[in-house]
Amino acid sequence: MVCNFTRPSGDLPALLNLEEVETLFHEFGHALEGLFCKNAYNMSYIAWDFVELPSQIMEHWVTEPELLNVYARHYETGVPMPAELVNKLEKSKYFNQGFINTELLAASLLDMAYYTLEYPVEVDIQSFEKEFFNKIGLIPEIVSRYRSTYFLHIIDEYDSGYYSYTWAAVLDNDAFEAFKEKGVFDRATAESFRRNILEKDGTMDAMQMYVNFRGREPQIEPLLKNRGLITQVN
């Protein structure tokens, strides 16, 4: 892995911020999939709305106290990160989630709207975008995450698939619950994830792979809980 992270400065070593650590864990998840995959052909198809599961699930370990005590230590004293600071970090992720999720879903719906038009069609981009947002009831205080003229994802591999970020989040939050249920370092759960997800990705139906790991189809509640959109899961 080659990453563009904070460099050492003067007498200070390279100290990564939280976002950089999350990126490191995320990309390492992709690396693990490549290392463990038993797919003999590099070009085999991986479902686009499944491809981020191996990476995004790794981000959940970043602020888990059991792991933080191992790696997040003061560079001079070796003291683990204080529990109160960890608690603040966990609570900070709930800030502005209503806005964040609305703008993300608005962009996903706009992307899908373009790719469900019937050919041939002439589209005035600005009018189409405005009419669509009015149609879905997007309030003026919240706009789409991207405007059409610079929404690169709709013409760069993610076309009609921008929703996959949110769907992958449903998968990774639900999958991580399996680890939380048994312990975040539970070996049997980890081996099941490796055997049913990382080794098989691109060679089997994505939902079947997930069911083989989780024992059921994914549920949305863990995502809503993780983002603070619901307070508890019954």
Residue positions annotated with a catalytic role: 27
Give the span between the Cα atoms of 173 and 52, in whole angstroms: 12
Burial letters 72-108, b for 16+ CB under 10 A, else e: beeeeeeeebeeeebeeeeeeeeeeeeeebbbbbbbb
> Cis (ω within 30 of 0) for the bond into 218?
no
Q: What is the DSSP letter of 60?
A: G
Q: Count of CB atoms within 10 A of residue 114's CB? A: 19
Q: Provide the residue type at 33 as one letter.
A: E
